[in-house]
Structure formats: C-alpha cells, structure tokens
Amino acid sequence: MTPNQTDRLATRFIQFLVLIVVLILLFLLGDIIISGLPHISWHFLTSPASSFSAGGGIRDQLFNSLYLLVLTLIISFPLALGSAIYLSEYAGDNWFTSLIRTAIEVLSSLPSVVVGLFGYLLFVIEFHLGFSILSGAIALTFFNLPLLIRSIEGSLHAVPNSQREAGIALGLSNWRTIRGILLPMALPGILTGIILSAGRIFGEAAALIYTAGQSAPILDYTNWNPTASSSFLNPMRPAETLAVHIWKVNTEGVTPDAVSISAGSSAVLIIIILLFNFGARAIGNRMYKKMTGGK
C-alpha cells in the first residue's frame, strides 16, 4: 500500500467512526423524543404521580426539580462568585492558591454519588435536616460549585487587564472595580455558565436520592406559607425530582407503566435541558453584542 492509499483509508476510517458517533446521538435523541413525546400530555404534566397504578403524572416531580434548581443556584451562585473573584482578582502566585485550586479540582472530580452520600451523612443525619429539598440543594451546591467557579473565573479572566487598571487609576477600590466594571463585562459569560450548570443540576439524580429523598408527598399549591408541611414552598419536605423519578420507577418495578412514564419524563428532561443549552448561547451572544455597542 502506498502512503497515499494509507492516507485515504485512514481518512475513511476516521470518517466512519465520526459517522457512528453522530448516529449514536441521533438514535439517542430520536429514541427519547419518539418514545417519549406520545406520553407527554397536559394530564401527564399536571397530575401527581401514582406508584402502584398506571396513568400517573409528573406534576410534583417537575415542580420539585425546578424548585431545587432555584434553591441550589441561590446557595451556590454567591459562593461560587466570591470564590471566583478571589481566584481571579486576589489570589497571589503562591502555595496557598495552588492548595485552593487543588481542593477545587478534588471537589470536581468526586463522583456525584460520593457528594450525595456526604450530604446524607452530614445534613440529613448529623444536622437532622432529614430528606429535604434543603439537604438536596446543599448537596447539589457541592456538586455544582467547582464548575460554576471555573466558568465565572474564566469570564472574569477574559476581561482585559486594562479595565482593571482604568478603575484602579481613578482611585477606585479593587472591590468597586470588580463590582462595577469587571463583573458587568463578565456578565454574559457568567450567565452562560449559570444556565449550563442549571442543565447539569436539572438532570442530576445520584446526589439527590439520599438527600432530597425519593418520595413526593402531595403538595398544596395554594399554600404559600413555606413553614407549612404541605406547602409547595416548604424547603424541609422530601422531594423526588424528575431525574430521581425516572430512576425510581425503573428500579423499584412496582409501577405498571414505568416504561412510558420514564420515556415521557426523559423527553421532558431532555427538552428542558436543550432549552437551557440554547438559551445559554442565545443570551450570551445577545448580551455580548449589546455590551460592545453593537459592534
């Protein structure tokens, strides 16, 4: 075989492998959407789940997922922001900084089940929070922090140094420069990072099954008092999310229509995550354009 023939053959082979990967994705999406869409109905989205009979919906699970997402972001965003500001603006080039970076790397490489078990051990059991949305949100925070810190730090890092100097040279404090000049410029990147992490949070289940729990008590959507036990806003109640629901109906095997419920739920999950992804890109681009004066 001449080198040129080898070259052509190798290229064909690479193209073949790429084709398979694309087909896998198409198959996955097709399977989820085609087998899931028929099960999605208004009834499916708005009625509570039923464990032992067919025809249950995912109303509460869907709401729990969203509520948990919001709570998680409320807890993790400020922490991630503060840490990212430290890393990008205050950290010197020394052993302490590399220790922190190592710690964050370790956190990001921990399997989510380990993070979930830690949350279970510390919050559910030691701190007596029980299986609750709050425990779940804290566990998801741990799981979410490293990625969010990295994306915020990256966005801050991308702001040209001349902007920092411009602020400092006017006698502004570093803090004011960060808040008033750097953060607004980094905002598109930060928002994109948040939305992408929202997608990850939304689909996560392993960190939740022993923190937010696997049961979805009937919720009262008219009770706005977060301390009432049946209130949908109560952060201390157990809350099965959509992702956990898919896992549970499949492993418990008591729900007769487990397959169609999982198919419908998977489709809902994927559609929402796709929306997050597209939203992240659209918002990022749009804000970037706006900020650079349309140029």
According to DSSP, residue 93 is labeled S
Nearest approach in angstroms of CB 233 to another protein is 25
Nearest approach in angstroms of CB 274 to another protein is 7
CA–CA dist 87, 70 (Å, integer): 25
CA–CA dist 125, 294 (Å, integer): 53
Nearest approach in angstroms of CB 35 to another protein is 8
- How many CB atoms neighbour CB 107 within 10 A? 15
Q: Between 57 and 167, name the residue whose CB sits nearer to another protein.
A: 167
Q: Which of 113, 123, 128 is nearest to 75 (CA)?
A: 123
Q: Between 6 and 225, name the residue whose CB sits nearer to another protein.
A: 6
Q: Between 13 and 224, name the residue whose CB sits nearer to another protein.
A: 13
Kindly state the tokens that stand for 142: 């741990």
Q: Between 169 and 222, name the residue whose CB sits nearer to another protein.
A: 169
Q: Between 27 and 221, name the residue whose CB sits nearer to another protein.
A: 27
Contact status, residue 64 vs residue 239, Cβ threshold 8 Å: yes
Residue 146 CB-half CA count within 13 A: 17
Q: How far is CA 22 from CA 30, 266, 277, in A?
A: 12, 20, 19
Nearest approach in angstroms of CB 126 to another protein is 9
Q: Between 110 and 236, name the residue whose CB sits nearer to another protein.
A: 110
Nearest approach in angstroms of CB 166 to another protein is 4
Question: Using alpha carbons only, what angle is made at residue 160 by residues 144 and 293, rounded to the nearest 5 degrees?
Answer: 95
Nearest approach in angstroms of CB 74 to another protein is 15
